[in-house]
Amino acid sequence: MATNLTSGVTATAQVLINGAFDLLGVKDPWETLEPESVNDARRRLNFLIDRWATQRLTMSSTSRFVLPLVANQMTYTIGEDVTADFNQPRPTVIDNAGLLLGNTTPPVERPIPVISDDAYAAIVVKTLSNPLFSYVYYNATSPLGQIVLWPVPNTSANSLVLYVPLALLQFPDLVTEFILPMGAADALEYNLALRLAAPYGKVAPPDVVAMAREALVDFKRLHVDPPELAVDVALQPYHRGMYNIVTDTGAG
């Protein structure tokens, strides 16, 4: 699971905007921008962050949420709204899910697959009920996402666990300070410069274009989870599926 990597770089929208305009040569470092230009640049900065929210590798952290269930309720809404079943940021995607069993010591969390649209569509009896759900289906509708549990849990004794990647926060104003994840400040400043170039009649210098691409690649690289090595059971001499890489023998 990815963790929140912070660089200790604190930035405001004003700082990033000034840096982006400096890179383009729109203003000299000692000059002050017109308020209209600054507000327009903040809008474009937030549009950039919003677009990055569609890309899994620009999400720098993953949060674990434990959510209560209601007996015989199949569908739950999620989003920042008091009317939502789960009032919290609406996920773009859900990385992993779990079923947290109630009244167990120590707590037992059972991993649950998050299935695709096709997999959910293939379920014939969608209203089947059971104390334990086996699948989680997420439909990222807007403004509230929809979480569907199957089979429908007929008890509220257990909880749903979600592992949700978090996108960068948008800047609500020019002066709010954020501690940005490692590599984010550089990537934001240089890529904002590319966005501002055409509206302000500038051509981004080649070194700015190259740095924008390099900074974004470096930022994304931090959030790549190495794949787990797997070997088809049919190719293993030990058909119980376990292998000890140290002793070159089957395990278990």
Tell me the backbone φ, ψ of residue 21, rounded to 5 degrees: -65, -35
Q: Are 163 and 62 in contact (CB under 8 A)?
A: yes
Burial class (CB in 10 A: 0-12, 13-18, 19+), 111: exposed
Between β-strands 145-150 and 135-139, what pairing exists: parallel, antiparallel or unpaired? antiparallel
What is the predicted pLDDT for the residue at 96? 96
What is the predicted pLDDT for the residue at 26? 85
Between β-strands 135-139 and 159-166, what pairing exists: parallel, antiparallel or unpaired? unpaired
Tell me the backbone φ, ψ of residue 84, rounded to 5 degrees: -75, 150
Q: Determine the 3-state secondary structure of 11 from DSSP.
A: strand
pLDDT, mean of residues 193-202:
95
Tens digit of each residue's pLDDT (9 = 90 or more) over 207-219: 999 999 999 999 9
Nearest Cα neighbor of 221 from 182, 174, 165 is 182
Report residue 211 CA to chain centroid gap. 24
Q: Determine the 3-state secondary structure of 179 from DSSP.
A: strand
What is the predicted pLDDT for the residue at 84? 96
Mean pLDDT of the chain: 88
Between 60 and 133, the more confident residue is 133
What is the predicted pLDDT for the residue at 232? 57
Pick the CATH number of 6-58+168-221 from 1.10.3230.20, 2.60.40.10, 3.40.50.720, 1.10.287.130: 1.10.3230.20
Beta bridge partners of 111: 98
In angstroms, rounded to a whole number, what is the distance separating the alpha carbons of residues 51 and 45? 10
Considering only 21-30, 130-139, 154-163, 225-234, which range has the smallest mean pLDDT?
225-234
pLDDT surpasses 80 at 242: no
pLDDT surpasses 90 at 86: yes
Place of tokens 């759900």: 133
Q: How confident is the model at residue 1 (pLDDT cuts 50, 70, 90)?
A: very low
Q: What percent of the chain has pLDDT over 70?
A: 85
What is the predicted pLDDT for the residue at 165? 92
What is the predicted pLDDT for the residue at 5? 45
Between 40 and 7, the more confident residue is 40
Tens digit of each residue's pLDDT (9 = 90 or more) over 38-60: 999 999 999 999 999 989 899 98
Between 237 and 44, the more confident residue is 44
In angstroms, rounded to a whole number, what is the distance separating the alpha carbons of residues 211 and 207? 6
pLDDT, mean of residues 97-106:
93
Amino acid at 150: W
pLDDT surpasses 50 at 188: yes
What is the predicted pLDDT for the residue at 6? 46
Q: What is the largest CA-CA distance in the chain?
A: 72
pLDDT surpasses 60 at 8: no
Domain range list for the chain: 6-58+168-221, 61-166
Report residue 108 CA to chain centroid gap. 25
